[in-house]
Amino acid sequence: MELFVKNAMHVGSKVKVRHTEKFIFRLRQDGVYLIDIKKTLERLNVAAKFISFFPPEKVVVVSTHVYGIRAVQRFCELTGCIPVVQKIRSGMFTNRVLKYYIEPQLLLVSDPRYDAQAINEAAIARIPVIAFCSTDNMLTNIDLAVPINNRGKSSLPYAFWYLAKRVLMERGLLTPEVEAGIQPESFMPSSVA
């Protein structure tokens, strides 16, 4: 948990919505809401279990946020999931005649605000959604919210790093050799690493 705090994974925003109140630990003097790290850790572990139930090629991971792009790519390299970064195309999950149509069984997004198109498509296609959510994110059409600072330079990469390790552990693929090769720095955007 110290690693989570060090990387500001508990820092929310100055706005809270009704949906995320249960994840808030307290309000700082500067008006920023802090996320309960215990709930973050608990939800990351539940997300890892859930992801491990699906074949990797049926899990799509989306991030259009600059700090999430490299993290999603690295997460997918390790877990075998399908990365969709920078831009989600209309009809990707709903229009079978498109060349880029894919049929996932699970969707993971880094930020419901940035990745709203993917969440809307998943809702239409009845695909369950896991989302990293800050204190100001609405949870509409989200099946599992993971409370986290989803806009931080290091918080988002560290969340994907931790989740990748947990998914591999749940699948029985996390050997000491594999774990040694999974460095958090490899999840960071190139401008941060």
Cα angle 75, 118, 106; round to 5: 55
User: Per residue of the chain (193 residues), what is the pLDDT tens digit?
Assistant: 677 766 777 877 788 888 888 998 888 899 999 889 899 999 999 999 999 999 999 999 999 988 899 999 999 999 999 999 988 889 999 999 999 999 999 999 999 999 999 999 999 999 999 999 998 999 999 999 999 999 888 899 999 999 999 999 999 998 888 888 888 899 998 765 4
In a domain, 193, yes or no: no
Q: How far apart are CA 125 and CA 141, in angstroms?
A: 11
In a domain, 67, yes or no: yes
Answer whether residue 192 is part of any domain.
no
pTM score: 0.92
Q: What is the structure's pLDDT at 48?
A: 98
Name residue, tokens 């831009």: 87
Q: What is the DSSP string of 133-188?
A: E-TT---TT-SEEEES-TT-TTHHHHHHHHHHHHHHHHTT---HHHHHT--GGGGS
Range of the domain at 25: 2-187
- Does 120 reside within a domain? yes
Beta strand extents in the chain (DSSP E only): 24-27, 33-35, 59-63, 82-85, 106-109, 129-133, 144-147
Residue 109: its pLDDT value, please? 98
Please check whether residue 6 lies inside any domain of the structure: yes
Q: What pLDDT does 1 receive?
A: 66
Q: What is the CATH number of the domain that holds 42?
A: 3.40.50.10490
In a domain, 148, yes or no: yes
Answer yes or no: is 117 within a domain.
yes
In a domain, 81, yes or no: yes
Written as six digits, the tokens of 182 are 């999974």
Q: What is the total count of domains within the chain? A: 1
